[in-house]
Amino acid sequence: MVFRGEKGSCNLIPDFIPVLGYLYDMILLPVFVYRSFFFIS
C-alpha cells in the first residue's frame, strides 16, 4: 500500500479497493461457487 503525504487519507481508497477485489476473487467467489455447486449436486 502506498502512502503519500500530499493527499493524506484520500489516497488510501484507490490503493485499498484492488486489495478488496483481490480478496473477494480469491476467497468469497470460490466459496459461493462451491456452495452453489454443492447445493445443485
Alpha helices (runs of H) in 1-41, residue ranges in sequence order: 12-23, 29-40
Q: Which residue has the higher pLDDT, 22 or 1?
A: 22
Angstrom distance (rounded) from CA 32 to CA 26: 11
Domain ranges for the chain: 13-40
- pLDDT score for 1: 47
- pLDDT score for 12: 57
Task: Decide: pTM greater than 0.75.
Answer: no
Q: For residues 15 and 2, is the Cβ–Cβ distance under 8 A? A: yes
- 4-32 pLDDT, tens digit per residue, is 555 555 555 566 777 877 877 888 888 88
Whether residue 35 is predicted with pLDDT greater than 70 in this model: the reply is yes
Q: List C-alpha distances in Å: 17 to 1, 24, 39.
A: 11, 10, 31
